[in-house]
Amino acid sequence: MNASNRDGMRRQVRDALDALARRAPGHAVELRVPPFAAVQLVEGPRHTRGTPGAVVEMDAGTLFALLDGTLTWDAGIHAGRIHASGERSNLSHLFPPR
């Protein structure tokens, strides 16, 4: 991926994560899409140092597939495309049903 494509992908990921954070404001879950961006969302206990109590990680392709409904949360978990741990880490309610 060249620098221009990488910058475009970073903006798309950031925009998508910002939209999710507006839909589920809070600081209980950290949603990571490496190497592009991460955001905190979902109401609940706030972490202030170290690794948060709930972390969800996926690649950009998985994020976009969830957003456009071509992948369900459960299918992403089952396929190992989504790694989720901790309380409140099930974010399926933020994505359209398939």
The dihedral built from the CA positions of residue 65, 70, 73 and 76, taken in this order, carries a sign that is: negative
* One-character DSSP codes across 20-47: HHHHS-SSSEEEEETTTEEEEESSSPPP
Q: Tens-digit pLDDT profile for the chain (98 aa)?
A: 677 898 999 999 999 999 999 999 998 999 999 999 999 999 887 666 666 779 999 999 999 999 999 999 999 999 999 999 998 999 999 998 76
Residue 78: how many CB atoms within 10 A of its CB?
A: 10
The domains of the chain are located at: 3-94
Cα dist. 26→40, 42, 68 in Å? 7, 4, 23
CATH code of domain 3-94: 3.30.1050.40
- Asked if 24 and 41 count as a contact pair (C-beta separation under 8 A), the reply is yes
